[in-house]
Structure 1
């Protein structure tokens, strides 16, 4: 019995259990990803931000919980932070603290608009998630077709449009949008013509 309950076997069992939790428990995976973001991994790369023209953004619609429709075409002249996410997606959950930090920085700035597009198809569930996590992020449902140039189905996907409606950032995968470089990136976009 002593051979089975030695320190080496106990440590190995704990490590295997932790590894299995990270693989099979979405919240554990999200927690690991969030920790990696805090130490500098998954920083969004804005150095190669190009201005990619998109066809007219009019007709790309999002609906909030009150039923109000937001048309991306009506937001010309504003910087738009658009994030497609889901409550079951560990990378989405991991990046939410950073997205919330960025939102808190610009929530009272009428020149920056945040749209967190619920990919669950259950707006009430997404709002409950935000409330439970104490995030104040604005959640929307997709209310029209979204061109493939914007969203190809990978979660999370984040797109930033400049004031002219050009795509200046498009990333599939988690990133820490609360880091100082990204905050400065949004600031430059909102202060340039």
Structure 2
């Protein structure tokens, strides 16, 4: 009798595993699964408080980069000194990038009236029309930017999505590679604390 229960249990386990594997290969269910896992807290961004420099630490040259918006207006991150800058590097073809966008929208909505915080969602492939269509389709209203030159490799590595948060001095306060849920109170508080310094 135990063997029968064990066999049924194994069969149910195998059926569940096969269904989950199949669901992972269907794009629409994969995105729902990824968003669900983000809401469960499995994709938390890495946020660490900036390390205070010792007085005798040599000053390292800060990096900056230029980006253009849909209107062709160019902004350089060096001109944003005095603000906390949330930069998300993404592309329209990147599934994890697309999955984290709603959480970034939530964060943007919470902080958009803070004059000390700036959001730059940088579509790295310069696909203006595709990026605009994506934002409209998903009902997202965040500012889209495109690279105007090289992006520092301390910001963008070999994969996307990557999110970089710069403090008011232009230093990296946090950098997270991979999909994450940015709608949490922890992320909001991290940025607010930086903006109040």
TM-score, structure 1 normalization: 0.84
Deviation at 1:12, TM superposition (A): 6.4
Runs of 5+ consecutive residues of structure 1 not aligned to the other structure: 1-7
Map of 2:187 onto structure 1: 182
CA RMSD of aligned residues (A): 2.4
Whether 1:138 and 2:143 are equivalent positions in the alignment is yes
Shift of the 178–88 alpha-carbon distance from structure 1 to 2, 3 Å rule, reads: same
Runs of 5+ consecutive residues of structure 2 not aligned to the other structure: 1-9, 54-58
8 Å CA contact 2:43–2:181 kept in 1: the answer is yes
Report the Cα distance in structure 2 between the residues aligned to 1:142 and 1:82, rounded to whole angstroms: 12
8 Å CA contact 1:51–1:167 kept in 2: the answer is no
Whether 1:20 and 2:25 are equivalent positions in the alignment is no
Whether 1:101 and 2:106 are equivalent positions in the alignment is yes
Map of 2:31 onto structure 1: 30
Partner SS, residue 148 of structure 1:
coil
Deviations 1:6-53 (A, max 9, x none): xx999967863552341352x433321111111121122324544698
Report the Cα distance in structure 2 between the residues aligned to 1:73 and 1:57, rounded to whole angstroms: 8
8 Å CA contact 1:29–1:90 kept in 2: the answer is no
Report the Cα distance in structure 2 between the residues aligned to 1:188 and 1:145, rounded to whole angstroms: 30
Whether 1:152 and 2:157 are equivalent positions in the alignment is yes
Partner SS, residue 70 of structure 1:
strand
Map of 2:178 onto structure 1: 173
Deviations 1:52-108 (A, max 9, x none): 9863344x1111110000111100000000010112212111111110001001112
Report the Cα distance in structure 2 between the residues aligned to 1:51 and 1:118, rounded to whole angstroms: 32
8 Å CA contact 2:90–2:161 kept in 1: the answer is yes
Tell me the number of residue pairs that the alignment of Structure 1 and Structure 2 aligns. Answer: 183
Report the Cα distance in structure 2 between the residues aligned to 1:36 and 1:165, rounded to whole angstroms: 32
Deviation at 1:149, TM superposition (A): 1.0
